[in-house]
Structure 1
């Protein structure tokens, strides 16, 4: 009894901080500022209220309802629906990481280029195919390391993650206070006028919603903490509201800082790739410390990216294959080497990631355009996994009497279902419209159609592969019985 009480000592502020570190980063500010400029500030406020808060509270109820289920979304779906849909949830969770894995080598190379060159020339001067082949080699090297059970980078990741969190806060403090502390000029005009912050809700704006969803997603990572919270019915929602406030403040002030450092009406074309480095470099100039801030950020981001790449190669694959049902996943994929690594799963990963790395370079020539396209592809693909969170909540809202929970977002079946459906449709809407190529990374009609084709084919193709595995698994089962 004492142990049980001891395990439930997390307070609302602990939950808020744990979740904040898990879901937030400086890149979210930079990427969305590039998409929307100062108007992103209103967008941040809207998405926090209309999407992020209900999202986190739904995750809280799901986590509290199924506290013993370590598989997260997949386990929730299995309890609420069955093994078939649970398999597709598990497949989706894994396969959406493929574009993520394809981009991490780019991030590592960019970080080192800034560390050694102190400028963004690597992104702007190198041909796409050459860089992508280098990315492929780097990715395969990390695959080899992971296949041998080398986990050094995993341990560095926690250090780098904490450092990135500190740097994100430092960026806000230094950026917002720079004009007062250093006398630097505010780069964006009319920041004191309300009209500068009102979005124009046209098609161009709607195509950027997916990036906002991508930025605030991932709240399901915190579900295991619900039942470790003191008085979860009261403290968990309080923690989630605190989280939303923290994220909103960070997003709003971070965007203010970006507006003070960069002219929101004339943003550099390479802001996606180089924006954070340029921002820290300019802050270093403001505070007369040279490239110090930029170097610290480059080292930290390189470490964080390498750790994220190493972890993301192995962890999602283990979630897919660790307790895989042989009716849905071929036994061959569950084969392990002497290091306990799913070696055939690694081969499948290498093939898919290799295609995503190399194929686009045949139609997208510049490194900056490739980086921008791949980042936007992640904003299309990664949020697809959130759909299963909302689907699980909609199913749970129909079965409230069947499942007990210490914490309930809403006791109304109808309200719960409607909120879940809203988040589901909003996410799908953002993913679909995000497929429209972004003007900043397209320079001709042929390139526009090429990117549109990739944006449509890639998510459909990755998801469709999940339909093939059960067919292959059944054939293997039949063959073994003969």
Structure 2
């Protein structure tokens, strides 16, 4: 629904809420929450995370987007305007560096989805030596790096189609799962027990070190910031859209968790954690097909949607964050000239080589992991500790914006109360930082090593590049 005002098309708040929902939420978030937090015990954590983290986060993004409505660089532009060019470079670097791990996981996830789509299970794939599966992942990764270097645009359209279909599948799963007992009452379901014990989490080391999974799940709403001023009456309707988004995500998380609880016993999940982290979503759709007497139909549809989604996202994740980092105004002052080189297709070819070395190195080092399921579980955990680091810059930019608010005009403010604004900014910053740090811990020594060394290498490289640039400029004088 779109309304026209002063010859300009303005979105209704309901349209924005639906756009944001499809951007932020996915079925994988439901599965990860169920697997990591003992089934229905995740519900308490979801509700707290939405109310105390997601809602203020979304409203802060709205204020930043409304204030810097003409900035196309997203978070880096906000940091540049509020904190200066050098901090903007570091924000851009963090955003790019987080995608190094994400890129590795897309290749692995795409091959796993393909195995489900071809064989209907991953017994053969998981039975291969890890060196073979990682070699295949490396070949796929290098192929899509080549695709990114050729500037082939078709995959961006595929990513949109795949993203929309995955979103529809996620909603359909919940609806169809709750309808299944009426359609096939004689199938095996687990009973839902709503007592306090089954809804309250156990606050232990496992719980605290898994919170980054939930932060990772609800993050990313800064992607919708360009649309703040495209909404009719943003000061009134944007917060309404964000509250609707939070309610939709919360309902989806809770109902999705209950749907999973009808299918899977948390005790069995806990005893086979890596298998459910790697294959939980496919197993859920496979079982749904059994309830509806259509075999693996739903699982095959979900698998091939995921193949397209994983591989098209892989190309976009190689290309888009690199363009945001190297194409920004700040890049020329902090990044060595060689990295800014464009090939004839308009791709940052040396930047792509940097991705090849870093993401390719991560893929190669995981060849020493026992099996393909462990690789996938490691990457999910590593993503949950690295990806939320980029959200820190959203909160830093918001705190800086409120500190210098007299310098900027805006059509929307989360709150006019400065103390409340600062409290929200610092609270979300500290929660994100704490979850990232706690998420590093793992009882597995190799996973712990990866969780520590990966951020160190990426942060060190981000600090080294400006130093190289400084020497480069000194030589030129």
Which TM bucket (shorter chain)? over 0.9
Quick check: 2:187–2:291 contact (8 Å CA) kept in 1?
Answer: no
Aligned to 2:30: 29
Equivalent pairs, count: 470
Aligned residues of 1:186 and 1:259 also touching (Cα < 8 A): no
The answer to whether the 8 Å contact 1:213/1:383 transfers is yes
* Unaligned segments of structure 2, at least 5 residues: none
For residue 174 of structure 2, the aligned residue among 172, 175, 179 is 172
Provide the aligned C-alpha RMSD in A.
1.5
Task: Report the Cα distance in structure 2 between the residues aligned to 1:200 and 1:354, rounded to whole angstroms.
Answer: 38
User: Could you tell me which residue of structure 2 aligns to residue 96 of structure 1?
Assistant: 98
Choose the corresponding residue for 2:461, options 462, 465, 476: 465
SS in 2 for 1:401: helix
The match for 1:479 is: 475
Contact 2:125 2:133 in 1 (8 A): no
The SS at the match of 1:429 is helix
Structure 1 position 93, deviation (Å): 0.5
Structure-2 residue corresponding to 1:338: 344
Contact 1:280 1:294 in 2 (8 A): yes
Alignment map for 1:434-473 (pairs within 5 Å): 434-437=439-442, 448-473=444-469
Q: Write out per-residue CA displacement over residues 258-302 of structure 1, whole angstroms, 9 at most, x where no aligned residue.
A: 111111221143111111111111100000011110110011011
Residue 8 of structure 1, CA deviation: 5.1
- Cα distance between partner residues in 1 of 2:7 and 2:171: 31
Change (3 A) 1:8 1:419: farther
Q: Deviations over 1:429-455 (max 9, x none)?
A: 111111111x6xxxxxxxx22221221
Determine the C-alpha separation between the residues in 2 that align with 1:185 and 1:213.
35
Q: Please, which of 56, 59, 66 is the counterpart of residue 58 of structure 2?
A: 56
- Given candidates 275, 278, 282, the residue that maps to 1:277 is 282
Once the two structures are superposed, residues 49-86 of structure 1 have per-residue CA deviations (whole angstroms, 9 ceiling, x without a partner) of 01000000000000001111111110111111100101
Determine whether 1:355 maps to 2:357: no
**Post-superposition offset of 1:407:** 0.5
1:211 alignment partner, one of 202, 213, 223? 213
Partner Cα separation in structure 2 for residue 186 and residue 43 of structure 1: 28
SS in 2 for 1:208: helix
Q: Give the direction of change, closer, same or farther, for the CA distance of 1:123–1:191 in structure 2 (3 Å limit).
A: farther
Q: CA deviation at 1:180?
A: 2.6
Q: CA deviation at 1:120?
A: 2.5
| Offset from partner CA, 1:193-227 (integer Å, 9 cap, x none) | 23211111122111111000000000100111111
> Mean alpha-carbon deviation: is it higher for 95-104 or for 399-408?
399-408
Counterpart in the other structure of 1:442:
none
Contact 1:327/1:473 (CA < 8 Å) preserved in 2?
yes
SS at match of 2:408: coil
2:316 equivalent among 311, 316, 329:
311
TM-score by length of 2: 0.96
Residue aligned with 1:30, SS:
helix
TM-score normalised per structure 1: 0.95
What is the alpha-carbon distance in structure 2 between the residues aligned to residue 29 and residue 71 of structure 1?
30
Tell me if the contact between 1:188 and 1:265 (Cα under 8 Å) persists in the aligned partners: no
How far off its partner does 1:4 sit? 7.1
Runs of at least 5 residues in structure 1 that lack an aligned partner in the other structure: 440-447
Correspondence list, 1:42-121, <5 A: 42-121=44-123
